[in-house]
């Protein structure tokens, strides 16, 4: 047991965001940081992620954040001297109608304006990359070479390893229990290892971030929703050696996983959970069941339009976890009026891995008083005012935001 009783910054949560924040702080010279994680590193939502990292976004701020993640990956690999599990496969998006096509063309324009290479490709080039694709259904197809996917556990461990190398302390198997305040100021946190004094408390507790906020009488403006995907049994190499393929009109994505394919679908109505009644360990939730096979079967006709042999896939795994969604699909990032020293980094909306680099940098900049990478006003954690996030109406807005993901990525 440690004897540490003080730190400049305490970060609650050793998921990808907590780890990135710790590393970005250390990189900026704030090494007097303690990360408090009640289970193990990357054991929350990060353990279940599909790990897609794509620059193809509809707004500049999200793009800037993903760019930071790719920059962080390169820097971590150079400094640690090993791979952090990023596969630069590129991504391909297939539009099946004019409206989706317009959206993709806007993405290409946005990427070009920021110097990122992306191209509209013809059906033949697409089939060379993805032999199972029926490109005849495509209205247009775009390809972004810098994109790919990453092993969420490996990247989190790398952020954490680099942070610890620089002097950051990690406490695993340690729960943060309550806050210690002096007037409006946070002065410390009670943990299962005892009290630790701090100047800043960062709530990076993922799906449980609301539990921490409730210490301050504040609610998290987001709902925990189920995200899930299937992993197929091995397929022939030419079928799996592909870029990440997004089929926005079929509401699906596919990428290689091991010797098989990973198939994710975007449900129009995701299962929602009560944030106040979650177990401390996500693995204790039953998130998959027999009925999900019917869900996949019902979704299959949409995917078959682009992947006529889709039914040949046999499945080995069905993976599910919870992610927090906000009603507008944007993160919750920043401070709260009347609470000095608290920063929230949450409301990831299924993109926490891809924006992790940006979130880490923004939090470090905020603590150091530097100007922000993006317009933080749009991400203010109190922007939903007094709306009750546990009400049916609020949760329904979060479910809608998830259903429309990709249209405003
Ligand atoms: C199935 C699935 C697929 C996904 N696919 C993608 C994708 O392709 N691309 C992408 O970018 N994102 C994806 N996501 C989303 C992404 O995984 C999450 O946004 C991200 O992992 C969230 O990271 P986090 O650090 O905020 O939360 P978490 O990983 O959940 O970490 C929070 C941590 O806080 C700890 N904690 C909570 N309360 C306390 C406490 N009181 N004391 C101490 N510790 C505490 C928890 O134990 C946990 O480890 C996916 C998610 C799922 C479930």
Does 2 have pLDDT greater than 70?
Answer: no
How far, in Å, is the centroid of ligand 1 from the Cα of 166? 24
Spatial neighbors of 386 by CB under 8 A, at least 6 apart, are none
For a pocket test of ligand 1, which of 42, 49, 178 has the largest count of ligand atoms closer than 8 A to its C-beta? Answer: 49
> Do residues 12 and 203 lie in contact, with contact meaning Cβ atoms separated by under 8 Å?
yes
Q: Residue 4 has what pLDDT?
A: 85
- Indicate which residue's Cα is closest to atom 53 of ligand 1: 321
How far, in Å, is the centroid of ligand 1 from the Cα of 44? 5
How far, in Å, is the centroid of ligand 1 from the Cα of 187? 26
HSE (side-chain half, CA atoms, 13 Å) at 16:
28
Q: What is the mean pLDDT of residues 276-302?
A: 95
φ, ψ of residue 267 in degrees (nearest 5):
-75, 150
pLDDT band, very low/low/confident/very high, at 51 (cuts 50, 70, 90):
very high
For a pocket test of ligand 1, which of 39, 40, 43, 44 has the largest count of ligand atoms closer than 8 A to its C-beta? Answer: 44
Would you say the CB of residue 332 lies under 6 angstroms from ligand 1?
Answer: no
Would you say the CB of residue 37 lies under 6 angstroms from ligand 1?
Answer: yes
Q: What is the mean pLDDT of residues 222-241?
A: 97
For a pocket test of ligand 1, which of 14, 17, 41, 46 has the largest count of ligand atoms closer than 8 A to its C-beta? Answer: 46
Nearest-angstrom CA–CA distance, 218 and 184: 14
- Strand 223-232 with 200-203, pairing: unpaired
Q: Residue 406 has what pLDDT?
A: 59
> Do residues 405 and 54 lie in contact, with contact meaning Cβ atoms separated by under 8 Å?
no
How far, in Å, is the centroid of ligand 1 from the Cα of 321? 9
**Residue 284, SS3 per DSSP:** helix
Would you say the CB of residue 205 lies under 6 angstroms from ligand 1?
Answer: yes
**Residue 223, SS3 per DSSP:** strand
386 CB neighbour count, 10 Å cutoff: 6
Does 296 have pLDDT greater than 90?
Answer: yes
Q: Residue 408 has what pLDDT?
A: 47
What percentage of the chain reaches a pLDDT higher than 70? Answer: 98
Q: Residue 250 has what pLDDT?
A: 96
> Do residues 18 and 154 lie in contact, with contact meaning Cβ atoms separated by under 8 Å?
no
Nearest-angstrom CA–CA distance, 41 and 47: 9
How far, in Å, is the centroid of ligand 1 from the Cα of 332? 14
> Do residues 33 and 169 lie in contact, with contact meaning Cβ atoms separated by under 8 Å?
yes
How far, in Å, is the centroid of ligand 1 from the Cα of 46? 4
Quote the tokens at residue 405.
Answer: 């993901």
Would you say the CB of residue 103 lies under 6 angstroms from ligand 1?
Answer: no
pLDDT band, very low/low/confident/very high, at 58 (cuts 50, 70, 90):
confident
Does 409 have pLDDT greater than 60?
Answer: no
User: Which residue from 346, 321, 324, 322 is spatially nearest to 223, judged by alpha carbons?
Assistant: 324
All domains of the chain, ordered by start, with CATH? Answer: 9-51+152-222+328-386 (3.50.50.60), 87-147+223-324 (3.30.9.10)
Does 181 have pLDDT greater than 50?
Answer: yes
Q: Residue 404 has what pLDDT?
A: 87
Give the number of the atom of ligand 1 that is nearest the alpha carbon of residue 17: 25
Q: Residue 254 has what pLDDT?
A: 98
Global pTM reads: 0.97
- Indicate which residue's Cα is closest to atom 10 of ligand 1: 351
Does 262 have pLDDT greater than 90?
Answer: yes
SS (H, E, C) 230-270: EEECCCCHHHHCCCEEEECCCCEEEEEECCEEEEEECCCCC
Quote the tokens at residue 395.
Answer: 């949760």
Q: What is the mean pLDDT of residues 385-406?
A: 93
Tens digit of pLDDT for each residue in 124-135?
999 999 999 999
> Do residues 85 and 140 lie in contact, with contact meaning Cβ atoms separated by under 8 Å?
no
Would you say the CB of residue 45 lies under 6 angstroms from ligand 1?
Answer: yes
List residues bridging with 345 in a β-sheet.
333
Intra-chain end-to-end CA distance of the chain, in Å: 44
């Amino acid at each position: 047991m440690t004897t540490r009783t003080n730190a400049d910054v305490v970060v609650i949560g050793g998921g990808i965001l907590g780890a990135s924040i710790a590393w970005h702080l250390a990189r900026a010279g704030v090494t007097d940081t303690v990360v408090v994680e009640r289970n193990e590193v990357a054991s929350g939502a990060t353990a279940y992620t599909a790990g897609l990292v794509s620059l193809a976004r509809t707004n500049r701020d999200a793009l800037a954040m993903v760019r930071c993640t790719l920059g962080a990956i390169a820097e971590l690999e150079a400094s640690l001297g090993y791979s952090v599990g990023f596969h630069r496969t590129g991504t391909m998006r297939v539009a099946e109608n004019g409206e989706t096509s317009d959206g993709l063309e806007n993405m290409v324009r946005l990427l070009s304006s920021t110097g990122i290479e992306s191209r509209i490709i013809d059906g033949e080039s697409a089939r060379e990359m993805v032999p199972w694709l029926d490109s005849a259904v495509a209205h247009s197809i775009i390809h972004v070479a810098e994109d790919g996917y990453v092993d969420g556990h490996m990247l989190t461990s790398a952020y954490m390893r680099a942070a610890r190398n620089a002097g950051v302390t990690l406490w695993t198997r340690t729960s943060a229990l309550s806050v210690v305040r002096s007037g409006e100021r946070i002065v410390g946190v009670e943990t299962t290892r005892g009290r630790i004094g701090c100047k800043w408390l960062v709530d990076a507790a993922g799906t449980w971030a609301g539990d921490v906020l409730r210490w301050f009488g504040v609610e998290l403006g987001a709902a925990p929703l189920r995200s899930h995907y299937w992993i197929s049994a091995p397929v022939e190499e030419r079928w799996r050696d592909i870029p990440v393929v997004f089929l926005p009109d079929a509401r699906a994505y596919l990428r290689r996983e091991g010797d098989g394919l990973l198939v994710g679908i975007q449900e129009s109505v995701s299962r929602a959970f009560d944030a106040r009644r979650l177990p401390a360990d996500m693995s204790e939730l039953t998130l998959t069941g027999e009925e999900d096979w019917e869900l996949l079967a019902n979704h299959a006709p949409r995917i078959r339009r682009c992947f006529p042999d889709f039914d040949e896939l046999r499945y080995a795994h069905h993976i599910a976890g919870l992610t927090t969604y906000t009603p507008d699909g944007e993160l919750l990032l920043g401070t709260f009026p009347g609470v000095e020293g608290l920063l929230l980094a949450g409301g990831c909306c299924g993109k926490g891995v891809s924006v992790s680099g940006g979130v880490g940098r923004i939090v470090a900049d905020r603590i150091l008083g530097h100007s922000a990478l993006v317009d933080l006003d749009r991400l203010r954690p109190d922007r939903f005012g007094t709306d009750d996030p546990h009400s049916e109406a609020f949760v329904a807005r979060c479910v809608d935001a998830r259903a429309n993901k990709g249209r405003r990525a």
